[in-house]
């Protein structure tokens, strides 16, 4: 996969009509529909401002939620248009449809320095099917396609990949930054390169572990997925999470690490609980000897020290997935210590979307991390070494 792609800085955008794919899939209050975090809208501002300042006419588009090809008032992008216009300090013209009469008329009338936003792309069933007729209708409104929705580049949808068949395609500043930092970490990391993997399931991270065993110097495994490794090696894990069909795979990975000379660190002690709640009765036990009526909820103090020490001398650290049930304060210590270790490490630190990004932000370490990826699924597939359709379709430098 070539990550060296043309960006908006490499092409002439002045006076051009630009179809800009953003990630405006913002969280909303279930009752009122109010936007509860505008982080994703703010993340798009550098690209939008650059294009507008250069005199481009910007036709922004995004999905929101999962309307499954049907019009759903609750999933309209109208509130996003309002928030975006507040942030930009200028009107964002809103189209009442995606590629219908309103969108086409407003796109045709759009002048340089103006911005409009199309209605939710997924209101059209053809979007997720990557239908060429829908991609063509989107492309016909513009002269250049700019991809700036990193959270969606792993999807081969009409607006993320299909339009590149009809328009020259380059990346926006957000996607360019992701490609430069994540691509650099995987292709040419400053060593030692330490990968920290957590989260509930081994199955979610099979490809990631496999790929990183070819690249990393040390791999740390915490979170619920560690118990599958413990059981595979003959441990008693009580009621802990375990994927019984992945035991052979866990042993294969342990062997592959030995063969490749990669240090694979697994938990040696665990904070176990008698039920899945913050107020559960707790005890610290060996990860290989969790009582039958207890379940592992966080890495223990010895493991925390082992893992944090491994991060201390690193040149590059990539982290994806929490070390325990960090949503419960009583089981957040392992995840917090890992966030602190990354913040203090002096390494190039990359946190790959999803729960680990949420943990780092909640715990107040975000400003001490080199890069927090904006894409959950996309950053996982990136770490897996898979080709990302929304990146592959962009012009090479």
When mean pLDDT is compared across 126-135, 185-194, 270-279, the lowest value belongs to 185-194
pLDDT in the model for residue 302: 98
The reply to whether 113 belongs to the active site is no
The reply to whether 321 belongs to the active site is no
What tokens does 72 get?
Answer: 């759903």
Q: Please give the mean pLDDT across all residues of the chain.
A: 95
pTM of the complete model beyond 0.85: yes
C-alpha angle with apex 197: 128 to 27, nearest 5 degrees? 40
- Active-site annotation holder among 65, 113, 183, 377: 377
Percent of the chain scored above 70 by pLDDT?
Answer: 100
The reply to whether 377 belongs to the active site is yes
Instruction: Return the higher-pLDDT residue of 84 and 32.
Output: 84
Is the predicted pLDDT of residue 14 greater than 90, yes or no? yes
- Active-site annotation holder among 6, 54, 136, 201: 201
- Active-site annotation holder among 172, 300, 354, 375: 354
Percent of the chain scored above 90 by pLDDT?
Answer: 85
For the chain, domains (ranges, CATH) are 8-173 (3.40.50.1260), 181-383 (3.40.50.1260)
Per-residue pLDDT tens for 43-63?
999 999 999 999 999 999 999
The reply to whether 207 belongs to the active site is no
- Active-site annotation holder among 17, 40, 246, 336: 40
pLDDT in the model for residue 92: 98
- Please report, for residues 3, 167, 229, 247, 287, the alpha-carbon distance to residue 251 in angstroms, rounded to integers and kept in the order given: 33, 47, 7, 6, 16
pLDDT in the model for residue 353: 66
Average pLDDT over residues 221-234: 97
Is the predicted pLDDT of residue 25 greater than 70, yes or no? yes
Is the predicted pLDDT of residue 374 greater than 80, yes or no? no
Is the predicted pLDDT of residue 31 greater than 90, yes or no? no
Three-state DSSP at 118 gives coil
- Please report, for residues 4, 140, 354, 392, the alpha-carbon distance to residue 63 in angstroms, rounded to integers and kept in the order given: 26, 19, 18, 20
pLDDT in the model for residue 102: 98
Per-residue pLDDT tens for 326-343?
999 999 999 999 999 999
Query: Where does the pLDDT of residue 383 fall: very low under 50, low under 70, confident under 90, or very high at 90 and above?
Result: confident
pLDDT in the model for residue 356: 87
């Amino acid at each position: 996969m070539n990550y060296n792609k043309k960006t908006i800085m490499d092409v002439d955008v002045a006076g051009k009509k630009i179809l800009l794919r953003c990630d405006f899939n913002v969280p909303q209050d279930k009752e009122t529909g109010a936007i509860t975090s505008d982080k994703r809208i703010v993340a798009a501002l550098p690209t939008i401002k650059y294009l507008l300042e250069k005199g481009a006419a910007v036709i922004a588009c995004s999905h929101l939620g999962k309307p499954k090809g049907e019009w759903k008032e609750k999933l309209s992008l109208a509130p996003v248009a309002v928030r975006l216009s507040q942030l930009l300090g200028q009107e964002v013209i809103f189209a009442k449809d995606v590629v219908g009469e309103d969108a086409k008329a407003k796109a045709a009338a759009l002048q340089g320095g103006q911005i409009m936003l199309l209605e939710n792309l997924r209101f059209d069933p053809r979007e997720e099917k990557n239908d060429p007729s829908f991609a063509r209708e989107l492309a016909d409104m513009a002269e250049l396609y700019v991809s700036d929705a990193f959270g969606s580049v792993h999807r081969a949808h009409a607006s993320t990949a299909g339009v590149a068949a009809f328009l020259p395609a380059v990346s926006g500043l957000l996607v360019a930054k992701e490609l430069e930092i994540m691509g650099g970490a995987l292709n040419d990391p400053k060593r030692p390169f330490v990968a920290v993997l957590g989260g509930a399931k081994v199955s979610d991270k099979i490809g990631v572990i496999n790929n990183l065993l070819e690249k990393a110097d040390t791999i740390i495994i915490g979170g619920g997925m560690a118990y599958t490794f413990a059981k595979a090696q003959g441990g008693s894990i009580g009621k802990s999470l375990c994927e019984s069909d992945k035991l052979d795979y866990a042993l294969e990975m342990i062997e592959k690490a030995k063969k490749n000379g990669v240090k694979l660190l697994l938990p040696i002690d665990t904070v176990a609980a008698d039920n899945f709640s913050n107020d559960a009765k707790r005890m610290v036990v060996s990860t290989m000897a969790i009582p039958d009526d207890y379940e592992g909820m966080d890495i223990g103090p010895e493991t925390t020290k082992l893992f944090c020490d491994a991060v201390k001398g690193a040149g590059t650290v990539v982290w994806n997935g929490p070390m325990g049930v960090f949503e419960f304060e009583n089981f957040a210590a392992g995840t917090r210590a890992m966030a602190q270790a990354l913040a203090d490490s002096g390494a190039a630190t990359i946190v790959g979307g999803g729960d680990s990004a949420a943990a780092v932000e909640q715990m107040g370490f975000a400003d001490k991390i080199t890069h927090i990826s904006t894409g959950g699924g996309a950053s996982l597939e990136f770490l897996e070494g898979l080709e990302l359709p929304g990146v592959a379709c962009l012009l090479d430098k």
